[in-house]
Amino acid sequence: MSAAQESLGKPSAVSLVTAVLVLTTAWAQDFPTGASLTLQADGIPTNLSAAFWAGEALPDTMEISVCVYLKFLRGRDNYDTLVSYATHNNTNELYIGFAYPSRLFEVWWGYSLIVRANVTSDILRWWRLCYVHNFTTHSYTVYWNDRVFTGSFQGPEALSGGGILVLGQDQDTLGGGFVFSQSLNAVLKDFRFYTRAVTSQEAVDYTSCRPSSQDLKPHMDFTHLLSDWRLQGSVEVGVVEMSEVCQEESVFHLVFPEKRTFPEAAALCEGVGGNVAAPTTPKENQLILSSVSPYLQQCLDASGEVVFLGFKSDPATRTLTHYNTGAVAQFTNLTSSNNTGKLCLGFQMTVNFQGSWLPILCKHRICTLCAFHALSRLKVCPRCVCLNINQS
Ligand SMILES: [Ca+2]
């Protein structure tokens, strides 16, 4: 049994403490367009912040679908728990979360990992999810922004009804047993739990920002957020516009023209809410060239490198993987074989190799290029980066 399996199922000795519910506004009305919840709105990793379903209990069901728009604000040590559904017989009757550090999408039943999808789930950007789980055919589909993952699983024949469903914490006992390392710090918008398999058309409509008007109403959603859900701990209720969830996903680059090792560069980028830039398309590579060109005088070193890229090189398998998520690079631009024993990558600016990639030592000191997906949270000031920590 893996460490993850042990920790997911292990009962916690931490008792449940009722904390103060924080509401940005005293909402009295319903939210027909889909409200948002911010779990752990104060950013503190605790076992307190959670949303309990308080409406009609789930029936036994042969099919379920979970759709949500979500933006992770921070990752937690062990799991970012989205849905924890527990019954008297099984505290993991259905568990949906994102495993550290790969941030892959996972579904657990009891002590068994039954579904894993190789999604990218960076923090500070919006992800649009529909998860369809068919107990009869033992098949699943994960719709994740514009990607789709399908597969089959070994598991139960049905979901047992009558249990407790919690968003943002993992139940190790029925209705409790939470630990902060398996909690969630994220904004959730328009959460829906169906006791049927939504059609692929419905799922694609939802994940491509055309959510249905809910003619076939989900069993659970955020329409009556304050009466249907019991909110606990630092939870904020608000409204996020679809235009924010669906805004064009563009990458924004920032150069820090001081020399750092790769670990120092990664710590700097992550400290300001980004990542070391890891281009995924020729167009992004061209954008990096434009971003670093003004810094040649400060940054260009004797071997022609200007900044680190956010990939790790494996000389044995000749593959590049994202340094943070471990995802295999789909686009590469190496000048030569990467079988050099050097594990990091530099972005080259010499005349004949403008914009190509070169394996270098991670302890080498060159400039830092950070990439951001969430412009709204970042203000760029002259000669510094200021974080807009909390806009509320
Ligand atoms: Ca657990």
Q: Is 75 helix (H, G, I), strand (E, B) or coil?
A: coil
Do 257 and 227 share a domain, yes or no?
no
Q: What is the pLDDT of residue 248?
A: 60
Q: Are residues 113 and 201 in the same domain?
A: yes
90 and 151 part of one domain: yes
The CA 143 to ligand 1 mean position distance, Å, reads 26
Ligand 1 centroid to residue 184 C-alpha, Å: 13
Intervals of the chain under pLDDT 70: 1-34, 214-215, 248-250, 336-339, 374-392
Span from the CA of 324 to the centroid of ligand 1 (angstroms): 24
Q: How far is the CA of 10 from the centre of ligand 1 (A)?
A: 5
Query: What's the CA-to-centroid distance between 5 and ligand 1, angstroms?
Result: 9
Give distance in angstroms: CA of 186 to centre of ligand 1.
18
In-domain check, residue 343: yes
Compute, in angstroms, the gap from residue 199 CA to the centroid of ligand 1. 32
What's the 76 CA to ligand 1 centre distance in angstroms?
13
Q: Are residues 9 and 117 in the same domain?
A: yes
Whether 23 and 149 share a structural domain: yes
Tell me how far the alpha carbon of residue 245 lies from the centroid of ligand 1, in angstroms: 30
Distance 170 CA to ligand 1 centre (A): 5
Q: Answer yes or no: is 156 within a domain.
A: yes
Please list, residue by residue across 82-99, b when 16 or more beta carbons sit within 10 angstroms of its beta carbon and e when fewer do: bbbbbbeebbbbbbbbbb
Domain-located, residue 30: yes
At 2 the pLDDT is 37
User: How many angstroms does the Cα of residue 358 sit away from the middle of ligand 1?
Assistant: 43
For residues 213 and 197, membership in a common domain is answered with yes
Tell whether 113 is covered by a domain.
yes
pLDDT of the residue at 208? 86
Residue 233 and residue 381 in one domain: no
Q: Which residue range(s) make up the domain with 149? A: 3-245
Ligand 1 centre from 201 Cα, in Å? Answer: 34
Q: Is residue 100 part of a domain?
A: yes
| Residue 192 falls inside a structural domain | yes
Which pTM was predicted?
0.64
Residue 352 domain-assigned (yes or no): yes
CATH number at residue 209: 2.60.120.200
Residues 172 and 266 in one domain: no
CA of residue 255 to ligand 1 center, whole Å: 40
Q: Is the peptide bond before 101 cis (omega within 30 degrees of 0)?
A: yes
| C-alpha 183 – ligand 1 centre gap (Å) | 9
239 and 259: one domain?
no
> Which residue stretches of 192-349 are H helix?
200-207, 225-228, 242-245, 262-271, 282-292, 296-299
* 190 CA from centroid of ligand 1 (Å): 26
Closest by CA to 109, choosing from 84, 134, 73, is 84
- Distance of CA 172 from the midpoint of ligand 1 (Å): 5
Residues 269 and 192 placed together within one structural domain of the fold: no
Over residues 34-55, the pLDDT tens digits come to 689 999 999 999 999 999 999 9
Q: Separation of 165 CA from ligand 1 center, angstroms?
A: 14
Question: Which of 245, 262, 279 lies at the terminal end of a domain, its last residue?
Answer: 245
Domain count along the chain: 2
Domain end, chosen from 245, 266, 295, is at 245
Q: Do residues 202 and 337 both lie within one domain?
A: no
Residues 281, 260 share a domain: yes
Neighbours of ion ligand 1 (CB under 5 A): 8, 170, 172, 182
Domain endpoint, select from 203, 227, 245 = 245
Q: Which long-range contacts (CB under 8 A, 24 or more apart) does 195-201 make?
A: 195/58, 195/59, 195/61, 195/63, 195/64, 195/219, 196/61, 196/63, 196/64, 196/65, 197/63, 197/64, 197/65, 197/132, 197/133, 197/134, 198/65, 198/67, 198/130, 198/132, 200/141
Residue 392 within any structural domain of the chain: no
Q: What is the CATH number of the domain that holds 263?
A: 3.10.100.10
